[in-house]
Structure 1
Amino acid sequence: MQIIQPAVAGTLESSDLMVRITPPDRPDGAMEVVVTSTVMAQFGDAIREVVSSTLQDLGVHAGHVLVEDKGALDFTIRARVQAACLRGSGAPDAIDWARL
């Protein structure tokens, strides 16, 4: 999946997170993931792993992802990343939901 436009999913409410995704701004198409969290010391590595595996499952290899976590659970993180990617791809049928 290719990210072609900026997109946002989620809120900054307690037990949620906000995911912002933008297309790559460099020709090499690198992936950059930045995570901030109120529980970074305890769960930072786990949050990064869920975000990275979700991006990999969706086939997103280039872009900028900013995650602002307020204590969300894994399934919420995955859903927010999927929603942001779907919105950023500009293609409503870009995700193979049955495969996920």
Structure 2
Amino acid sequence: MEIKQTALAGTTESSDIQITLSKGNGSIDIDLTSDVKKQFGNQIIKVITETLKKFQITDVKVRAVDKGALDCVIQARTIAAAARALNTADQIKWEVLQ
């Protein structure tokens, strides 16, 4: 699916992650800022990538600012940003997450 508009979800508060999605350059490009990037960066990127692929988003630029979010929070913020970026916030396809 194609990103229709730049969208943001989440905060930069402790235990949260701020995800910004914008039009990409042909791939999933993730720019991650995190104090725990060395230990958990690969897992954070994996959760974001897998969630985007479930929405069939393969052409996107992702800016992620992590403040110690758990996987479930990362997934929820990615879903919210994707729904906003696709302009489908009122019709989220929850079944893709199974």
Q: Specify which of 67, 71, 74 is matched with residue 71 of structure 2.
A: 74
Distance 1:43 1:99 in 2: 25
- Please give the per-residue CA displacement for 1:25-76, whole angstroms capped at 9, x wherever unaligned: x4xx332111111111111111111111111111101121100000000000
Distance 1:30 1:74 in 2: 22
Provide the alpha-carbon RMSD of the alignment: 1.4
Q: Specify which of 32, 35, 44 is matched with residue 47 of structure 1.
A: 44
Greater CA deviation, 51-60 or 71-80?
A: 51-60
Q: TM-score, normalised by structure 1?
A: 0.88
Q: Specify which of 13, 23, 28 is matched with residue 31 of structure 1.
A: 28
Distance 1:20 1:97 in 2: 20
Instruction: Say whether 1:83 aligns with 2:80.
Output: yes
Q: TM-score, normalised by structure 2?
A: 0.90
